[in-house]
Structure 1
């Protein structure tokens, strides 16, 4: 090959190899994903718990791989899975308490989230699920197992370079406050207590080595099918008071996250607003191909939280529904929210784009 031929080959290599190398480096930058909190991120940790807050039975999982009810509170995948896929890690994120969890799954992350959980320990007690402190204990156990598998150095790299998701506060506000505390203290006081609890939790993650944390806002709780039925009046509108309380809590939580970020060195902690994109979808469903925002595909939500999602109460096609059951979006709606979150957070992702 002559000089010019070698030069052209070199230029072609540079033009094509650099993007490939850049992509490989970026994908390796976030080696694992971990999720904590409630049913928004739970991928099956409640399956073997003595609780009614579980969904490892049909029709849950109807649109999941193989049509299997894995314990996800959805017809398919939830944000834990979708974000893991978008980061180029895995198509799904296994639950840490899944009896089928494989040793080789551990280095790329797991979910510790528990449906029905909250920041307030009372929330978890009332529903018989994993509290945040219990989830933190499981994470410590995970770190020990990870070190045994990959060694101290690699384990430290994974822990410090991975992404951590936290979704908590939904059940505290929608369930615990109204069921037990509404007559005892003003909501502002309870919200402050929740924010203090959330702050303590993320600081504990920091002490264990986490350096990249996404703290998710609550959903627009007054617009959930169950919320509309309970507090939305005869027309089942989005319950304004409940949404205002969710917004108040979210504002306090956002401020606390910003404060923590400024106080702790090298801590990329971010408040992630999922309230707004989901509310926008609820208010403008047709633009994204949704037809029904007030009722759920399964159980409809017309009778509140007591209405069960069963094979006898499920719609034939979830793709036109924003909500799967009385409190949880469908996989399609989650894809819309996750896509919005990833764009706004500017976190490095693979080429996966949700439409």
Structure 2
């Protein structure tokens, strides 16, 4: 009876989501995004960062058919999340806004490619670290008060959904440093990373680590030539994800009114990478751009030889980032978690 009741509740909530998606009003008043290259929609275009994607073939399948700074051939997962939440336009890269004003009423994106939980990762590539992204968000809050008034701004801030996507770069970098004979820098998820709560955020979604050992560049570097996922590295991701899950109850107990939801990227991406044909994909071992084995960023460019014609058949766009098709695949499987984030 309990299972049937839970199932019916989910069906009713899902139907409610579908209903609201057909209306003009989005499910939440705004969406604010923080993190790394998986969700950067162009912030690195406006800073002296060594990791950018503002050139072809990046963006070749995006709605505008132009490079925007997204590390993919088209839409990112947060673009699809924005659509599913009912927004008519994507949340802009905050650093791209010369005139902020009404552009912030639906939220903003503060993510920076090559950023991560550990500040040294961002410093290495001149990216915007997470703590600085939070400073930009503080500036955004001031702008919201100017254009919407304090009462409305407070309502937007407390009702908005916040998405944090980080960690994969930290662990990939740490693994590389470890195998280079240097001291490994630990990656921690702690209350410092939830300063968003102190700034009024109550609906916070955090992604778990993906199967890092299945990323093409990692297989190339550490796969011993066998074309299979490096399970030793995947185990590191799984261990981190378990610890992340373990912190959930304590954080919710400590922080009144917090709805903290973890998005499991590991399982759906692992299934897709290991059984791509089951989901209509052709290639999961290498990316679409160039050889797909090591190219990322500037090494994936207009002159890259061998770039595939149909990226929708590929799980990865370059040797590190997913294609538009994969981003949609992942978001489709995260809908229950998204519902839990916006409705609880």
Give the TM-score taking structure 2 as reference length: 0.87
Alpha-carbon displacement from aligned partner over 1:36-56 (angstroms, at most 9, x marks no partner): 010111110100222221101
Q: Is the 8 A contact 1:215 1:272 kept in 2?
A: yes
Corresponding residue for residue 309 of structure 2: 316
Deviation at 1:227, TM superposition (A): 0.9
What is the distance in 1 between the residues matched to 2:104 and 2:297? 36
1:183, distance to aligned residue in structure 2 (A)? 4.4
Alpha carbons of 1:319 and 1:247: their partners in 2 closer, same or farther (altered >3 Å)?
same
The 1:90–1:259 alpha-carbon spacing in structure 2 relative to 1, beyond 3 Å, is: farther
2:20 to 17, 23, 29: 23
Q: Compared with structure 1, are the counterparts of its residues 315 and 161 closer, same or farther at alpha carbon in structure 2 (3 Å cutoff)?
A: same
Higher Cα radius of gyration: 1
For residue 329 of structure 1, what is the aligned residue in structure 2?
322
Alignment of 1:91-240 (within 5 A): 91-99=89-97, 103-179=101-177, 183=181, 190-191=186-187, 194-196=188-190, 199-202=191-194, 204-240=195-231
Q: Is the 8 A contact 1:94 1:101 kept in 2?
A: no
1:26-45 correspondence runs (5 A): 27-45=25-43
Q: Structure 1 stretches of 5 or more lacking a match?
A: 1-18, 350-355
Q: How many angstroms apart in 2 are the aligned matches of 1:343 and 1:64?
A: 26
Q: RMSD value over aligned CA atoms?
A: 2.4
- CA distance in 2 between counterparts of 1:245 and 1:294 reads 20
- Give the paired residue count: 323
Report the equivalent of 1:12: none
Give the TM-score taking structure 1 as reference length: 0.85
Gap change, CA 1:254 and 1:238, over 3 Å in 2: same
In the alignment, the residues of structure 2 paired with residue 341 and residue 101 of structure 1 have an alpha-carbon distance, to the nearest angstrom, of 34
Over 3 Å counting, the alpha-carbon distance change for 1:241 and 1:101 in structure 2 is farther
**What is the distance in 1 between the residues matched to 2:165 and 2:33?**
8
Which of 230, 238, 242 is 1:247 aligned to? 238
The CA distance in 2 between the partners of 1:88 and 1:209, in whole Å, is: 22
Q: Is the alpha carbon distance of 1:100 and 1:339 closer, same or farther for their aligned partners in structure 2, counting shifts above 3 Å?
A: farther
TM-superposed deviation, 1:26: 11
Shift of 1:93: 2.3
SS of the equivalent of 1:97 reads helix
The answer to whether the 8 Å contact 2:205/2:341 transfers is no
Alignment CA distance shift 1:256-1:33 (3 Å)? same
